[in-house]
Structure 1
Amino acid sequence: MTSSPARQDAPAEVPGPPLPRLEGPWSARIAQAEGADLDLVHGWMQEPHIDAFWHQAWPRERWVEEISGHLAGEAILPVVIRHEGSDLAYIEVYRVQRDRLAGHYPHLPHDLGVHIAIGEAGRTGKGLGRALLRALAEGLLAADPHCTRVVAEPDVTNAPSLKAFTAAGFRPAGEVVFPDKKAALLVHPRSDKDMPR
Structure 2
Amino acid sequence: MSNLNDLSVLPLPAGPALNADESESRLSLTLEGESLIRLRLERGDELQVHLQEAGSVPAARALWAACYWLFAKEPARQHLTWYLEHAPDDALRSGLLVATPTPGQFRCERTLFWQLPQPWLGQPLSGAYPQQMKISDGKRHPVRAPKPRGEVYRRFDARLGAWVSLRTVEIDVDLARFNRWQNSARVVHFWQEGGSLEQHREYLDKLDADPHALTLIGCFDDEPFAYFEAYWAKEDRIAPFYDAGDYDRGIHMLVGEEHHRGPHKVASWMSALVHYLFLDDPRTQRVVAEPRADNAKMIGHMQNQCFHCEKEFDFPHKRAALMILGRERFFERCGLV
With the length of structure 1 as denominator, give the TM-score of the two structures: 0.86
Note the alpha carbon deviations across 1:21-65, whole angstroms, 9 max, x for none: 34222111111221x311111110011111110000111111111
Deviation at 1:85, TM superposition (A): 2.1
The answer on 1:188 being equivalent to 2:325 is: yes
2:179 and 2:252 map into 1 onto residues whose CA distance is 16
Identify, as 1 or 2, the structure richer in strand: 2
> Is 2:252–2:289's contact at 8 Å kept on the other side of the alignment?
yes
Equivalent residue pairs, number = 186
Change (3 A) 1:10 1:58: farther
Distance 1:17 1:166 in 2: 29
Q: Can you give the 5+ residue segments of structure 2 that lack an aligned partner in the other structure? A: 1-135, 157-162, 330-337
Is the alpha carbon distance of 1:115 and 1:29 closer, same or farther for their aligned partners in structure 2, counting shifts above 3 Å? Answer: same
Q: Does residue 166 of structure 2 align to residue 28 of structure 1?
A: yes
> After the TM superposition, which residues 19-168 of structure 1 pair with which residues of structure 2 at under 5 Å, given as runs?
21-24=153-156, 25-34=163-172, 36-168=173-305
Residues 31 and 79, structure 1, Cα contact 8 Å, conserved in 2: yes
Q: Deviations over 1:146-197 (max 9, x none)?
A: 11111111111111111111111212211121111111111111115xxxxx
Conservation of the 8 A alpha-carbon contact between 2:286 and 2:326? yes
Change beyond 3 A, Cα 1:191–1:17: farther
- The TM-score with structure 2 as length reference comes to 0.52
Whole-angstrom CA distance in 2 between matches of 1:82 and 1:47:
19
SS in structure 1 at match of 2:325: strand
- For the 8 Å contact 1:76–1:94, the answer to whether it is kept is yes
Match of 2:141 in 1: 11
* Conserved 8 A contact 2:313-2:322: yes
Q: State the structure with bigger RCO (CA 8 A, min sep 6), 1 or 2.
A: 1
What SS is found at the alignment partner of 1:184?
Answer: strand
Tell me how large the CA RMSD over aligned residues is. 2.0
Structure 1 unaligned runs (5+)? 1-5, 193-197
CA contact (8 A) 1:129 1:164 kept: yes
Summarize the Cα distance change of 1:94–1:17 in structure 2 as closer, same or farther, 3 Å threshold: farther
Q: Report percent identity of matched pairs.
A: 26
- Mapped contact 1:111–1:149 kept (Cα < 8 A): yes
Distance 1:94 1:57 in 2: 21
Which structure would you say has the larger Rg? 2
Q: How far did residue 129 of structure 1 move? A: 1.6
In the alignment, is the contact (CA less than 8 A) between 1:17 and 1:95 conserved in 2? Answer: no
Q: Deviations over 1:111-170 (max 9, x none)?
A: 100000000234323421232111111111001111111111111111111111111121
Please name the residue that 2:119 is paired with. none
For the residue of structure 1 that corresponds to 2:211, the secondary structure is coil
